[in-house]
Amino acid sequence: MPHTDRPNHKGTPSDTHRPVRRSRSGILGRRYERTGTEPVTGRSALGMRLWLSVCFMPLFVAATVLFAVWASRSDTGSTPTPSQLGGLAAVCAALAVIAAVDLAVVLRRRKKERPARRAAP
């Protein structure tokens, strides 16, 4: 956290906050206590990230297959060239991997943040 000379609401420098354990944690497992500047009713964007990952991952996988097949069937003198199509296939494959990783992260965070539901007796 960068050093600031501006005091927080208690009159101490803002870089002296201690991490506080919370159930909703970040990568390191800790978040800092509220400073009073963030909204109280802030909502998570996990639902939107889930929707975007679910929609775009299959789209990028299909585009990867389409560009790879097109590159394999095109001639060297054609436009676009097989190397350009291969580059597009690689970009789409990378975006599909990013969407899959994001989907896994979102599902893990949603599972961690929501209480476990018990089966009815």
pLDDT band at 54 (very low <50, low <70, confident <90, very high): very high
Angle at CA 21, nearest 5°, toward 113 and 101? Answer: 45
* Token pair for 110: 């949603």
Mean pLDDT value across residues 49-58: 96
CB 15 within 8 A of CB 2: yes
Residue 43 is predicted with a pLDDT of 72
Closest alpha carbon to 49 in 114, 110, 93, 92: 110
Q: What are phi and psi of 23, to 5 degrees?
A: -75, -30
Share of the chain above pLDDT 70, in %: 62
The 10s digit of each residue's pLDDT in 25-42 is 555 544 556 666 767 676
- pLDDT, averaged across the chain: 79
Q: Which residue in this structure is represented by tokens 């599909």?
A: 96
The pLDDT of residue 74: 94
Note the pLDDT of residue 113. 77
pTM equals 0.64
The predicted pLDDT at position 30 comes to 47
What is the pLDDT at residue 108? 92
3-state secondary structure of 32: strand
Residue 64 tokens read as 């990867």
